[in-house]
Every structure is written in C-alpha cells, then in structure tokens.
Amino acid sequence: MKRRLLALSSGGGHWIELLRLTPAFSNIEISFATVNCSNKEEVSGLKYTKFYTFDDVTRWNKIRWVKTAIQILRIIIKVRPHYIVTTGALPGYMAIRIGKLIGAKTVWIDSIANAGELSTAGKYAGKHVDLWLTQWEHLSGKTGPYYKGAVL
C-alpha cells in the first residue's frame, strides 16, 4: 500500500517553503493543498500528486474559519493521509487538528519569516503535532520546537 501525504499551507512564503520540501517526499503519494489554484502548475509535473484548494483565512477572519475548516475536512476525507506536513499558517493548524482525528502523523514547520518568535499558529500547533520544527536555532527548545535546519 502506498503511503499518502497531505502537504498543505497558506500561500506566499508558506507555499514556497512547502515546495522546497518536495524532494524529501519521493516514493510517496503526495496531495498538495493551498489557497491559490494557479499553484497547481508548480506541482503538476511531480509523480503521484493530486492538488486541492481551500479559502485562505487568518485569525482576523473568524467568520470564515468554519468554511475553511469544512473545506480542509473534505480534502482530508478525500486524501485519507497517513501524514500531514504544513508550513502554516492558520489553515495548516486546522489541517493538523483535523488530521489527528483520523490518526494521521503530523509535522509543523514554522515559517522562516518568524525569526524573532514562533508564529501564533505554530505556538498552538506544537501541542498537537508529532513533530514540531522551527527554522531558527535560537527558537528551539528541549520539548520543541526542534531545529533541524532551514528550508530556504
């Protein structure tokens, strides 16, 4: 049985960082999910991939949280991932929380843009993920997040 991975992030830098991880996912069925449908072109040449989109949401758009969470739930039900990897932000947090409910192993990689402190979503995610990573060594801790290098 081929293992399934859901690689999910918000747009912009979160998406770019997620794409840089792609070589680490060889020989696994990858489903990508992000907020911009034009990003499909960036992964269309990869082997074993599927692509999904959802509405972007931030902590300031609380009314849209439910809609985005439902969209992410539908993606997770379709993909049935064994693993979920995210570089954030709030939609990534939603994905790891929903993914844990179906038994997926989850990885949170805090954005390299968060050099001074962890992202808000990353702080919350740390309690719920199987592997919690930061891209800044000075932000790492004994119980996480852990520093294993930077994506960019």
For residue range 129-148, what is the model confidence (pLDDT) as tens digits?
999 999 999 999 999 999 99
For residue range 51-110, what is the model confidence (pLDDT) as tens digits?
999 999 988 888 899 999 999 999 999 999 999 999 999 999 999 999 999 999 999 999
- Least confident among 16-20, 77-81, 105-109, 111-115: 111-115
Task: Give residue 47's pLDDT band: very low, low, confident or very high (50, 70, 90).
Answer: confident
Task: Give residue 152's pLDDT band: very low, low, confident or very high (50, 70, 90).
Answer: low
* pLDDT of res. 10: 96
What mean pLDDT do residues 111-120 have?
Answer: 86
The structural domains of the chain, ordered by start, are 4-147 (3.40.50.2000)
HEC assignment per residue over the chain: CCCEEEEECCCCHHHHHHHHCHHHHCCCEEEEEECCHHHHHHHCCCCCEEEEECCCCCCCCHHHHHHHHHHHHHHHHHHCCCEEEECCCHHHHHHHHHHHHCCCEEEEECCCCCCCCCCHHHHHHCCCCCEEEECCHHHCCCCCCEECCCCC
With b for 16 or more beta-carbon neighbours within 10 A and e for fewer, the 13-44 pattern comes to bbbbbbbebeeebeebbbbbbbbeeebeebbe
* pLDDT of res. 65: 93
Q: Which amino acid makes up residue 6?
A: L
